[in-house]
Structure 1
Amino acid sequence: MKIFFDFYEIALNKGKSIGIYNYSLSILKTLAKENDGNIEIVVACSGENLDEIKEIANIKLKIVSIEYPNFKKRLLWRLVNAIRLAKKQNADIYFSPKGFAPSLFKRKKKPFIVLTVHDMIPFYYLSNYPNYFSFFENHFITQSLKHSLTVANKIITISEFSKQMIYQHHERREDIYVVYNGVSIFTKNIESKKISPYIFAITSKLPHKNMINLLKGYTKYRELVTNPLPLVVCGIRDYELVGFEEFKPFIECVHFADENKFTTLFSNATLFLFLPKIEGFGFPPLESLMYGVPNIVSDIPVLREVLGDSAYFVDAENPEKIANSIISVLSNPIVGQNILASGKKTILNYSWEKCCDQILKIFETINKNND
């Protein structure tokens, strides 16, 4: 079976989701590593992501362009060139980990289209923050998602919550499979020196990431205790602390962290905060469990689904409750210990090997049914 793996529109620091980049790279690495010779993997990429991908064994690279494609080239890729190149490679399966289908109609012959649709958050923005993105961006993305869901032969999504969101916004009901993500832990160059205790958080200025309430909750916590811990926030810049200027001495902003920095920030933290309004899955709280750091997370359906009892859940739109949850976890070690004890079992459910095994079964099913 030959798989055409579309990595062309995916690169670190391009687009709005580092999570999709990490997902795509983890799937590709695991498929290549676990390959027993029964599959061929052809990877379409640009020079922007070549350095990371060229180190992977057991794959064939097709460099579509040296530079990361602009909007016009991405559109042409989706409309014509992606499926044309997949056909030229005699692929059985075209796989897009980003979730957009390169076809006008559902295919009745090879290559069959399989997509991972991570979430339906663009529809959330259309309903709740219609003016945050441009009219064109709002409608182009949502209509592209709807079209992709219509024409793909099979759909993978990453949680039951995301599957229900697909049902909410699209009439499709068949051939939608929930395949949970894996979780990666990096062990390279972890700083072993002693670091003063701090609270670690991941957020961004995107409204659904809930940055303002996270910061309000943290500053309220500072007002309620005598020796508050400082906060390190990954995903925002200092100048985005508008309204929180007086707390800048206690808040360190890290806009982007590479693997080594990210690992150091996580592994040395005392507590982790993850407080979005909506997610498709939620990597970071699972990563905190991998690093042995208790977490406080939004009480939203998808995080209940993914984490079970392995988190301290809070109303993330209530700063006072956020503050009190920080105090509760930090003042009572038993709470954190219980989270981590439960987390040891929870993280066993999420491995890239298990994820890729399920994805390959989906590929094999469509391939065998159409031979």
Structure 2
Amino acid sequence: MAFELVRAMAGIDGVEVVVFAGGEPSRRFDLGGLPGVRVVPVRLGAVDVRQLWRWRRIVKRAGVDVMFFPYHLGAAPLPGVPAIALVHDCIFESDTRFAPSRAVAVAYRAMTALVARTLTVATVSAASAREVERFYGRRVQAGHIIANGVDPALRGDPAGTGRLRAEFGLRPGYVLHVGAQRPHKNAAVLVEAIAAVPDARLVLVGSADERFADEVGPAIARFGVTDRVTRLPFVPEELLGSLYADAGLLAYPSLVEGFGLPVLEAMVAGTAVVAADVPVLREVGGGAALYVEPRCGQAWAAAIERLLTDADLRDGLVAAGAVHAARFTWGAAAERLVAACRAVAGSRQEPVLTER
């Protein structure tokens, strides 16, 4: 998200983007080559307690007017420097089982509360804004809801299809889920569902989080679908478009999210979506997805079978999804962020700073 916002903001008239970056070069993103972007090396991690007293000096030396923290746990109160911190979600707060430990949950809430009290808060969805107000008593202004964009070029191609088959054994038509294997992702319900849909294949893409017990593996054994479920911790980024495009559908059963970008990525790639019927996914998917009670395996099985067998329904969702997803652009996100930064800075059209 940060890279796309920086690239889009740098193209806005009157904006200079200063990026405070760690000493190690990024393997994925080259910010230094972007016009309108100045990169300033810092020796602070994304979450480092030393930032509480070091950021003010760093920012003053760089001569910036507004500080934007794209991850709120990396934020710090900066007396005299307007600052916006992005709170992506309230997943740990919504259910104690979603936090890796009680200690992590307590520390996370303490830091988030400090940020909510001392900085301007932005977030990525109206649903997350409501959760910030619910848990921290801080109302997020409508203009500070910065929805994610989605890559409009996320498409499949024959070469990608060939690689998916050769390298991972994937044949088109599978039921796809994309997301780290954590409890709030609720992926085990898809294993239960796939067991009830004859011949359907489930592909789960996402790394395991060793802080949590594996819920998917035991479910695969319990329902006897070892031969119909493929777990892939990683798929190369250049194959992402083909991964989505070759799927019969994307199933996204998360119990809570900050946003839910895979829903839009699937729509851009021309794949129908069935998602959990929770507020944030209704917000992101709009009228272009099918919605299911998140914990009901039978409901997921029925929805999956319906989408795999009803070509008219599937084609209708694909067409609606293409129109819907086109509204989510990084350019629009950058415009909203710059407007928020200018408002926080008192409407001065001067440098905007981001940190990663």
TM-score normalized by the length of structure 1: 0.81
Q: Is the 8 A contact 1:236 1:253 kept in 2?
A: no
- Cα distance 1:259–1:312, how it changes in 2: closer, same or farther (>3 A)? same
Tell me, in whole angstroms, the C-alpha distance in 2 between the residues paired with 1:145 and 1:49: 28
Q: 1:165 pairs with 128, 131, 148, which one?
A: 131
Counterpart in the other structure of 2:200: 229
CA displacement at 1:317 relative to structure 2: 0.5
Per-residue CA deviation, residues 33-89 of structure 1 (Å, 9 max, x unaligned), is x133x2222111124453413343321112224xx8496xx1212x12223211211
CA displacement at 1:201 relative to structure 2: 1.2
Per-residue CA deviation, residues 215-269 of structure 1 (Å, 9 max, x unaligned), is 1112222xxx3xx2322210146x8522414422222211122311222211211
Counterpart in the other structure of 1:325: 303
Residue 90 (structure 2) pairs with residue 123 (structure 1): no
Counterpart in the other structure of 1:218: 194
CA displacement at 1:162 relative to structure 2: 0.9
Q: Is the 8 A contact 1:298 1:314 kept in 2?
A: yes
Residue 4 (structure 2) pairs with residue 26 (structure 1): yes
CA displacement at 1:104 relative to structure 2: 4.5
Aligned-residue CA RMSD (Å): 2.5
- Cα distance 1:370–1:147, how it changes in 2: closer, same or farther (>3 A)? farther
Q: Is the 8 A contact 1:185 1:290 kept in 2?
A: yes
Residue 65 (structure 2) pairs with residue 92 (structure 1): yes
Residue 89 (structure 2) pairs with residue 113 (structure 1): no
CA displacement at 1:187 relative to structure 2: 5.1
* Correspondence 1:201-280 to 2 at 5 A: 201-221=177-197, 225=198, 228-236=199-207, 241-245=217-221, 246-280=224-258
- Cα distance 1:50–1:88, how it changes in 2: closer, same or farther (>3 A)? same
Q: Is the 8 A contact 1:276 1:316 kept in 2?
A: yes
Q: Is the 8 A contact 1:189 1:260 kept in 2?
A: no
- Cα distance 1:187–1:247, how it changes in 2: closer, same or farther (>3 A)? same
One-letter identity of the residue aligned with 1:40: E
- Cα distance 1:25–1:213, how it changes in 2: closer, same or farther (>3 A)? same
Counterpart in the other structure of 2:35: 57
Tell me, in whole angstroms, the C-alpha distance in 2 between the residues paired with 1:70 and 1:309: 37
Q: Is the 8 A contact 1:180 1:355 kept in 2?
A: yes
CA displacement at 1:370 relative to structure 2: 7.6
Q: Is the 8 A contact 2:156 2:244 kept in 1?
A: no
- Cα distance 1:60–1:104, how it changes in 2: closer, same or farther (>3 A)? closer
- Cα distance 1:101–1:201, how it changes in 2: closer, same or farther (>3 A)? closer
One-letter identity of the residue aligned with 2:26: L
Per-residue CA deviation, residues 179-220 of structure 1 (Å, 9 max, x unaligned), is 221111455994255644222112333110102112111222
Residue 96 (structure 2) pairs with residue 145 (structure 1): no
Per-residue CA deviation, residues 259-316 of structure 1 (Å, 9 max, x unaligned), is 1122221121121111100011110111111000001110111111221211111112
CA displacement at 1:155 relative to structure 2: 1.9
Tell me, in whole angstroms, the C-alpha distance in 2 between the residues paired with 1:47 and 1:267: 37
One-letter identity of the residue aligned with 1:212: A
Counterpart in the other structure of 1:306: 284
Counterpart in the other structure of 2:12: 35
Is 248-257 or 295-304 further displaced after alignment? Answer: 248-257
Tell me, in whole angstroms, the C-alpha distance in 2 between the residues paired with 1:174 and 1:344: 29
TM-score normalized by the length of structure 2: 0.84
Would you say how many aligned residue pairs link Structure 1 and Structure 2?
A: 329
Tell me, in whole angstroms, the C-alpha distance in 2 between the residues paired with 1:149 and 1:49: 31
SS in 2 for 1:179: coil
Counterpart in the other structure of 1:5: none
Q: Is the 8 A contact 1:27 1:356 kept in 2?
A: yes
Q: Is the 8 A contact 1:275 1:297 kept in 2?
A: yes
- Cα distance 1:54–1:370, how it changes in 2: closer, same or farther (>3 A)? closer
Tell me, in whole angstroms, the C-alpha distance in 2 between the residues paired with 1:175 and 1:325: 36
Tell me, in whole angstroms, the C-alpha distance in 1 between the residues paired with 2:342 and 2:77: 24
One-letter identity of the residue aligned with 2:22: S
- Cα distance 1:90–1:54, how it changes in 2: closer, same or farther (>3 A)? closer
Return the structure number with greater relative CO, CA threshold 8 A, min gap 6.
2
Q: Is the 8 A contact 2:149 2:329 kept in 1?
A: yes
One-letter identity of the residue aligned with 2:113: K
Residue 54 (structure 2) pairs with residue 81 (structure 1): yes
SS in 2 for 1:81: helix
Tell me, in whole angstroms, the C-alpha distance in 1 between the residues paired with 2:132 and 2:34: 33
One-letter identity of the residue aligned with 1:260: E
Tell me, in whole angstroms, the C-alpha distance in 2 between the residues paired with 1:140 and 1:150: 16
Tell me, in whole angstroms, the C-alpha distance in 2 between the residues paired with 1:40 and 1:48: 23
